[in-house]
Amino acid sequence: MPWRTSPADRARGILPDPYHIWMSEVMLQQTTVAAVRDYFLRFTARWPTVADLAAAEDGDVMGEWAGLGYYARARNLLKCARAVVSDHGGQFPDTLAGLLSLPGVGPYTAAAISSIAFDRAETVVDGNVERVMARLFDVHTPLPAAKPELTALAAELTPAKRPGDYAQAVMDLGATICTPRNPACGICPWRTPCAARRLGTATELPKKTPKKPKPTRTGIAYIARRSDGAWLLERRPDRGLLGGMLGWPGSDWAEEVPPHDAPLGANWQPLPDLALHTFTHFHLRLTVMVAQAPEGSNPQIGMFLPPETFRASDLPTVMRKAFDLAHAHFIELG
């Protein structure tokens, strides 16, 4: 992983750049290593220091984050970089309290930065550690109620020596051996003390409270291409779903399509295929309306972005799906 320093370097006391650890930990929130890797490389290449990031345009950061999800992380990433520069002289705080005061940095991320980047003895508790502790001590209390109990158990195991290596090791154990399904108990370094291994309960732990089913919502997106190749887009408000991201004008999304005004007053036509997408808490069936807009069109809603400015990769995935359908349509049109 590109944000790690080698074990040999850590053993010699060479610690990683706190900026890199912070960036990777924020990206890794609820996100797999495989998904994060390329984003991390692009972000650190484009903004090598926290000061560079703090000076970035909001839209550039949101566009670079597009596709990674949980966009509040990107908004808080910028807020945090600016806070580090304006309130902390461009250096990340090394204490839990200092780190916790930063936007987008909660108990997990603060402990991760403090232990990994500064080698302080803080207890890191993520989903991996919760699972490892639940099995090691055979805890049957369902999550999230079990969190305090699992955190206390994890804290007792946290060593004073090499806490950064330890934090990464426990998370790696959870990610590679003590996995949710088919844990590799036979090769686990903790197989001897593990209570769940002894009792045969490993695969059923940790218990979780059941989730609610996802409802299906419907909506309409309007995609207009002007004769000069410009696309009609809007910047979504900073709060809520896809907040701060670029998107197509359209209706709200609800069980029934809410009343709304179409932009431009062009002759909109529906595409035969819907854009289907699933968010954390609902399914979406999005009707895509397309229209050709005459040159010189001035929209009441949104703005036309010329093709040299617009990158489809700046769109969140649901908007990208709608674009791909519309783009194919306009190509057919010639």
Partner DNA sequence: GAGACGTGGAC
Partner DNA sequence: TGTCCAAGTCT
Kindly list the residues in this chain that would bind DNA in the complex (CB under 7 A). 1, 24-25, 28-35, 66-72, 76, 103-110, 112, 126-128, 131, 144-145, 168, 171-172, 174-175, 179-182, 208-214, 240-243, 277-281, 316-318
Nearer to DNA, 104 or 249 (CB): 104
Report the alpha-carbon distance of residue 119 to residue 74 in Å, rounded: 26
Nearer to DNA, 180 or 270 (CB): 180
Give the number of other CB atoms < 10 A from CB of residue 62. Answer: 25
* Closer Cβ to DNA, 96 or 264, answer by number: 96
Radius of gyration of the chain (CA): 24
Catalytic positions: 25
CB 131 → DNA: shortest distance, Å? Answer: 6
Is-contact 319 247, C-beta < 8 A? yes
Which is nearer to DNA, 110 or 266 (by Cβ)?
110
CB 333 to DNA: min, Å: 26
CB of 217 to DNA, least distance (A): 10
Q: Give backbone dihedrals phi and psi of 275, rounded to 5 degrees, phi first.
A: -90, 120
Output 72 or 301, the one with its CB closest to DNA: 72
Whole-number minimum distance, CB 216 to DNA, in Å? 9
Minimum CB distance to DNA smaller for 144 or for 270: 144
Measured between alpha carbons, how far is 248 from 301 in angstroms, rounded to an integer?
10
CB of 251 to DNA, least distance (A): 15
Burial of 192-219, coded b for 16+ CB within 10 Å and e otherwise, reads: eebebbeeebbeebbeeeeeeeeeebbb
Beta pairing partners, 219: 286
Q: How far apart are CA 138 and CA 175, in angstroms?
A: 19
Distance CA 98, CA 84 (A): 10
To the nearest 10 degrees (0 to 180), the angle between helices 33-46 and 58-65 is 150
Smallest CA-to-CA distance from 23 within 69, 72, 77, 61 is with 77
User: What is the three-class DSSP state of 25?
Assistant: helix
Q: What is the DSSP letter of 185?
A: G
Nearer Cβ to DNA (266/318): 318
- Count of C-beta atoms within a 10 Å radius of residue 109: 22
Q: Please check whether residue 290 is in contact with residue 221, taking contact to mean a CB–CB distance below 8 angstroms.
A: no
Rounded Cα distance, 257 and 272, in Å: 18
Q: Parallel, antiparallel, or unpaired for β 216-226 and 283-293?
A: parallel
